[in-house]
Amino acid sequence: MNDLIIVFVGLALILYIFFVLGTARIAVTRSKNGIGWFLFSLILPPIAFLGALRLPKADIKKESADNSFFENIVMDLTQPFIDLAGTSQALLGLNISYVLEGLTYFGVLGLLAIYFNEYVGLDDIRAGNMLGILTGGITLAMLFLGATVDWIGLRKALLIALVLMLVGRILITIAPEVGVSGIWNSAHIFSMLGILGIVLGYGIYQPACYAGVKQLTTEKTAAMGYAMLYALMNLGGFLPGIISPPVRKSFGITGVFWVYAVLTVVGIAVVYFVISKKAMKKAQQEQEASEPESSNVKSDEEEQGGFKLLLNVFLDKVKSNRTPAMSAGVFLIAVLFLAIGKEFIFTSAVMEINNSGTWYSYLFSFNWFYLLGVFMLCGFILFITDLRFFYFVFILIFVQTLFAHNWLTLPMYTSRAFEGFVGDNFEFFVNLNPILIFILTPMVTALTSKKDTYNMMILGTFVMAAPTFILVLGPNFNTLIAYLVLMTIGEAMWQPRFLQWVAEIAPKGMTGVYMGIGQFPWFLTKVITSLYSGWFLMNYVPQDTPVSELNSETMWFFYALIAMVSPIGLVLAKGWMKKGFKTKHEG
């Protein structure tokens, strides 16, 4: 029974949110005192909900424009779930598939580093590298495979993607049983093949879902469709926190992975039976009937996107800037030779002289071809954009490392540095961020919608980075919750403004390119953070070490300093960034 406590806590939290938001929505739609009923529901949620159901309906329907600030937040939070009940069968199936996949993906991701430690026999450094390959690989795969849905259609794309991910998850689950543990041994190889399947599958699946919303909604209902997808993604991201702990305690991490493999099969069944050919045809007919024919005509610029658009812009830049292009090529060739020399000549000699686990030996222990890839990507972005944009997107990498620590560091930190309830149910705390984002984003957006975009970027990154210093006080339930809540508030403040600012500073005709490139630093964040997070864990929060001998405070102090570079860098560059923005708009 003790193992099920976290399940009851999680379900109670979901029900509490349902009763509170449901009560407030009913009161608002029936023109009653929404704030009063909301406060009542905070204290006695079920009673308040039942009481709200008995309220008489309003004689005159209230327009959304007449809603107060509080009422708009309540409606924004609850509307996606109301819309879900009245959507087409195909779109309903897409959303069910998406919530199942969100549950499965985040559930596996939160346990994967520990899995590589305990089942595959990798140290924290190599385990972090594996997660970097998975998460970074997915970002790249979406760039190259995102157009699959346009070639073969939504239904086939989803089925192929889910089958690939199913095969990948099964390979990861059986790897410890059929293989030999240890780096580059058979268990490691099988698990890497599993990662490849997930990377390829998710590279197709995520873009296909967003393309599916576009196909199955009209211009008027598209915002509703994307809002549903966003809300259900966050719900799915939270659910592993209540499903995983009891299964893991009884059957181990591989037992949890088998549950997620079964859920992937359920997702395939949903796509096959709910998003049937008949349902797709009906939804598309309804969409075409309600959409003016003129709106279906897209310009060449709108049709061209993704990798093809970036490649064409790059080739145009090379033609017009031959000398800088040649200089960049010479530099990359020099870095290539340096990486080859390090990997095949110098590494063995250095490791023989110094194998003490210092930062110096670690610098030579990881593959420098990663650095070559980073240099190439940075050079590519700088070459096709400009220095101001390059600085803006890359200065945010420092605070974005906190996102990556949600799966690279938090699972190991909470399972190793905490005893009792938190340590036994660490998945619940690792997966709190999605449900907090779902609740806080509409509130923060409504409060800050009229504020200057760049100033909100500064304030938001500061509010997200600064709470990391709270964890420097040591492992404690209160400090952990404070960090998770405050960091999420900061995320809600700046993350929605990021693409807005990118669109605002993009030169005319380059908005699509800038929006696409704005995602590249997120790829770098995943890869770069995975290169050093394992080293910090091994040195400050090592496995199989008594809690009293851990030094997590120092680890989080360094992470806080790294994250604070972003708000400081944005402040220092404010005049330069705003000047460029002003010049662009005046021009």
What angle in degrees, to the nearest 10, is found between the helix axes of 124-145 and 520-540?
170
Q: Is residue 530 classed exposed, middle or buried when 0-12, 13-18 and 19+ CB atoms within 10 A define those classes? A: buried
CATH 1.20.1250.20 occupies which residues in the chain? 87-291, 388-587
DSSP code string of 362-429: HHHHS-THHHHHHHHHHHHHHHHS-HHHHHHHHHTHHHHHHHHHHHHTHHHHHHHH--THHHHTHHHH
Residue pair 478/450 in contact (Cβ under 8 Å)? The answer is: no
How many CB atoms are closer than 10 A to CB 275? Answer: 26
Of 310, 127, 91, 102, nearest to 202 (Cα)? Answer: 102
Q: What is the mean pLDDT of each run of 10 residues along the chain (587 residues)?
A: 81 92 92 89 94 82 65 85 83 93 95 96 94 91 84 93 97 96 94 97 92 83 79 89 94 96 97 92 77 48 52 70 70 75 64 55 63 71 76 90 95 94 93 88 80 89 97 95 94 82 71 70 87 94 92 97 96 84 49
Cα gap 175→191, rounded to integer Å: 6
Residue pair 475/545 in contact (Cβ under 8 Å)? The answer is: no
Assigned token pair, 516: 């696409």
Of 108, 134, 132, nearest to 248 (Cα)? Answer: 108
Cα gap 411→117, rounded to integer Å: 12
CATH number of 87-291: 1.20.1250.20
Residue type, 377: L
Q: pTM, whole model, 2 decimals?
A: 0.85
Q: Would you state the pLDDT for residue 586?
A: 46
CATH of 388-587, one of 1.20.1250.20, 2.60.40.10, 3.40.710.10, 3.40.50.300: 1.20.1250.20
| Cα end-to-end distance, the chain, whole Å | 68
Residue type, 89: Q
Assigned token pair, 172: 């990861």
Assigned token pair, 82: 């109301």
Q: Would you state the pLDDT for residue 417?
A: 95
Residue pair 127/543 in contact (Cβ under 8 Å)? The answer is: no
The 10 Å CB-count burial string (b at 16+, else e) for 405-426 is bbbbbbbbbbbbbbeeebebbb
Assigned token pair, 8: 């009851």
Element (H, E) at 355: none
